[in-house]
Structure 1
Amino acid sequence: MTSAGRPDSGYRLRWREHNSQRRDLILRAAAELVEESAPGAPISVRHIAERAGLVKSVVYRQFKSKDDLVRGLRGYVVESFAVELEADLDVSAGTLRGILRRAITSAAVWMEDNPRLVDLLRSGPSDTDPDAPDAVAELRHRVVTRAHETVDGVAAVTGLDPAPFARIPFVLFTMVEATLTSWVRGEEAIRGSSRAEVVESLTDITWFVLDGAARGMGVTVDPDAEFATVLTTLVPDGAARTVEPT
């Protein structure tokens, strides 16, 4: 404490960390209960508090209302899913086809394991982006932004024009997410397909789109060669040939 009786900065920092830990504990408990419950089944704040090992009043100190808690949960799920996908989109290691397959597989596994949370994301906005129509739009923005950063990084190294790829990340995310959602829900057009079959099909289609854009620029890329090595063949003569991970 300070001499004036006010908490010092170290105390405030510890208190914020404590609150953040409690908030994450509550949201993790809520996510678990959503997945364990029947579709559309109500989940009480009391059950969430019990799962988190807290009393209900602590939950309401972190969230003003149940609606506030649901928005916070959507934001928590978006963050968890986005961090995983962004890591899988790291182009510093692997072939292009392998990177695409890795990211799509990661999304397929997560969505298959968490079908109730997938529906939750589609049911409304999160607390981090209340203006988005639903949390899927926020997730799309995160992943598409990450993809654009990669494209801009490649363009900076090679001198290639990134313009032909401007809309591709949005289109590919929308296609992959919608297809995986239909698969998880068992919709007729894709019912009966194994995860491996769906992932391989989406990987091929994604590659065809990227390859078409590259060939339109007069560039041919081997999808089964190490991507970092491929980039060195695209660097203009005399330019630095070191590719930094993005």
Structure 2
Amino acid sequence: MAQRQDGRQSRWTQHNAERRLRILDAATAVIEAGPPGEEFHVQQIAEQAGLNRTAVYRHFDDRADLDRAIRAHVLDGLTATLLPAVNLDGTVNEIIRRIVSTYVDWVVEHRALHAFAVHEVSGPAEQGADQIAAALAELLQTVIVVLGADLDDDERALVDPLAHGLVGAVFGAVRRWVSLEPRRPDADRVSELLAHSVWSLLDGHARRIGLHLDPDRPIVELLPAAE
């Protein structure tokens, strides 16, 4: 009897999770159908999901809880898009440009979702930035170790805050840029300028600790040379 109840509970939990995801997917579709910043209603989400309004609220405490869940869902999608770009393939310049342009291109393609997701910089937006910054910090720490850079304890401890600062600066710059009307320069130029800014900061730190990296050489060539 207990096993039957456990199976029933498991199916019910899965059903609720699938219904919740269906609602969140419907919400993103509603947001993307309108211009950035346009107000939307729960009834629109319900209709998009093929449910009634009451059914939507069975899965969320209130409108604020629903909005938080939508923001988290949108930022999960951004994170899933951005994290694969955070790797050591290519030259230093290519790595930086790939990460920055992946984010810029996503924002341009999903302007309404981005506007809604970052409307509140705390909560899901902050958590999403933290995930990406943590991946970047891990990447920087890997490079530092393999290059054999001579860092003291304080400098090593600063790698994580530095990564968060870089991510925050890029996110903030893109957030401001995408809100401008007319929006200039174009996305490619923004990616280029931001990537150059990131490299300038990293290069400054690298030179201070005695590392002189050629940004146009593949990382796979730089790392063995430093061993």
Shorter-chain TM-score range: 0.7 to 0.9
The residue matched to 1:124 in structure 2 has which SS?
coil
Q: In the TM superposition, what are the counterparts of 1:73-222 in structure 2 within 5 Å?
A: 73-91=70-88, 93-124=89-120, 133-160=122-149, 161=151, 163=156, 165-186=159-180, 191-222=183-214
Q: Provide structure 1 residue ranges, at least 5 long, that are not aligned to the other structure.
A: 126-132, 236-246
- The residue type paired with residue 231 of structure 1 is L
Separation of aligned partners in 1, 2:10 and 2:93: 45
2:62 to 41, 60, 65: 65
Q: CA deviation at 1:100?
A: 1.1
Q: Provide structure 2 residue ranges, at least 5 long, that are not aligned to the other structure.
A: none
The answer as to whether partners of 1:49 and 1:55 remain within 8 angstroms in 2 is yes
Q: CA deviation at 1:104?
A: 0.9
Separation of aligned partners in 1, 2:192 and 2:2: 65
The answer as to whether partners of 1:121 and 1:134 remain within 8 angstroms in 2 is no
The answer as to whether partners of 2:133 and 2:163 remain within 8 angstroms in 1 is yes
Q: In the TM superposition, what are the counterparts of 1:15-26 in structure 2 within 5 Å?
A: 15-26=12-23
Q: CA deviation at 1:11?
A: 4.3
Tell me: CA distance 1:225–1:5, structure 2 relative to 1, closer, same or farther (3 Å). Answer: closer
The answer as to whether partners of 1:123 and 1:134 remain within 8 angstroms in 2 is no
Q: CA deviation at 1:5?
A: 7.5
Q: CA deviation at 1:57?
A: 2.9
Identity of matched residues, %: 29
The answer as to whether partners of 1:26 and 1:59 remain within 8 angstroms in 2 is yes
Separation of aligned partners in 2, 1:228 and 1:142: 25
Q: CA deviation at 1:49?
A: 1.4
The answer as to whether partners of 2:206 and 2:212 remain within 8 angstroms in 1 is yes
The answer as to whether partners of 1:95 and 1:225 remain within 8 angstroms in 2 is yes
The residue matched to 1:167 in structure 2 has which SS?
helix
The answer as to whether partners of 2:24 and 2:70 remain within 8 angstroms in 1 is yes
Bigger relative contact order (CA 8 A; separation at least 6): 2
More helix by share: 2
Q: In the TM superposition, what are the counterparts of 1:217-228 in structure 2 within 5 Å?
A: 217-228=209-220
Separation of aligned partners in 2, 1:149 and 1:118: 26
1:7 to 5, 11, 16: 5
Number of aligned residues: 222
Separation of aligned partners in 2, 1:38 and 1:222: 43
Separation of aligned partners in 2, 1:71 and 1:200: 33
Tell me: CA distance 1:231–1:76, structure 2 relative to 1, closer, same or farther (3 Å). Answer: same
Q: CA deviation at 1:101?
A: 0.9
- The residue type paired with residue 183 of structure 1 is W
The residue matched to 1:43 in structure 2 has which SS?
coil
